[in-house]
Chains A and B, each alone.
Chain A
């Protein structure tokens, strides 16, 4: 079974081709350039180098977010269009779960994270159990200091993974002290081959209905909802939860 993996959800661009249990090839860059002009050429290059034609593919796996809205959309659009037009299934994997996979063999809990700006992060809590990655706390967008306080209540060592993790090292240290471990640069980028391996275990989805998991509503929608609620509650303040843990 030949599986193509696509991850454009954050700054790293990752493409992988896996044939059965063999990783045939991976393409990873971590540069601040647009995915739109680079993702399809990377896919074409990798398949050509591996002597695989598009029609030989059996499954498309895509990192479905969270991350850059535009980035996630590029990967998902390519993945669902390939899957639909080739008549093959699609599977989606959380972009955070892919990152957490780099923490294999770590004896504590794993916290993947992407910077979401304004002091917020996309994150979740994972652990390897019996060789399989398990999600303990679902993906969310949260203020980094709030997340650090929450994490400080549990007693295990914590591995923080992500290209943005070093930005928050001091914050997490101030709450968790010596239990903080930060993955080195060589483990800080999501591996598209891990994406494929995880995706093979996931439910197959209908390409037409496949959508990104943005983890939050568009800003205009949040404001609109707040305004509606505000009118209903006669001006009462309320918070809008935009989390959609699908």
Chain B
């Protein structure tokens, strides 16, 4: 996990399976089984991780089609920094970058000198007004953050660099824009130091289990990852996110809803289920998870994915239970199984991550304003 080869091998395997993208988890604190992230004193589980944006950047030149989506926290990292980091990942990958917006991890605040919530986040305190207010504030701050990042990506028009030798101008300064964002949490002038990235707007993705992140994803995201317990729950989550999307005036735009599933796969479904039992007995206490686990054959998993698709889920983020075993089962078993049914690609047909997901390259908000103003 602390060598580049580990990551390169995994991502290349996913690319061999023609997957749309991979996500890279991240956090500022040491991994913990405690819900509030407090140290748990365990020595039997993996501890330590590298910066996700940098892992993705390291893999980018060694892959060619697959999307690369690292997590970055809105709590710790300035929007100006995130904007140029993801834009640069888009440049080094030739238009394959995305960002998983990581909004709330209370314990991380201490690492950068901010306060953690009082009382600490816990199932018993979850319903308290203090924790509810903390959650609301965290996602309000994240919304402002994403808005600033998106504006910074647009702060250069695509054709700002003119290299006009006759007038001695490298760029046309009228095509660069101060974003002049003034919010409750941030005040950022811009423009970015990095030109508009190849995709224009790299993919913005949000994981959510409750309404606040659903709203964030519906208002400002391209993909919302959700964790349904079953198909009825999936239907209910989809309805809530679509309603938020309409309320935000984005009804006509594509917002993907991806279900997160932990998968244990084997050609023989019973063997997979048996392996899951063995995995659970390997550790002292199986780690809690937000997503449900599916153990079975690629065919059984494909059936479930297609059922849930009919309920409004537009994609899946599969979390392999064991690496690289279950990733290989996805890329070599599940992907061909879906392709046989005519429900998955047999070759990449786009070069960019937005292209894989059927998202257009967005117009620059400031260019439109400037051109309209000129027309008046």
Q: Does B bind A?
A: no
Chain B residues at the A interface, C-beta cutoff of 8 Å: none
Chain A residues at the B interface, C-beta cutoff of 8 Å: none
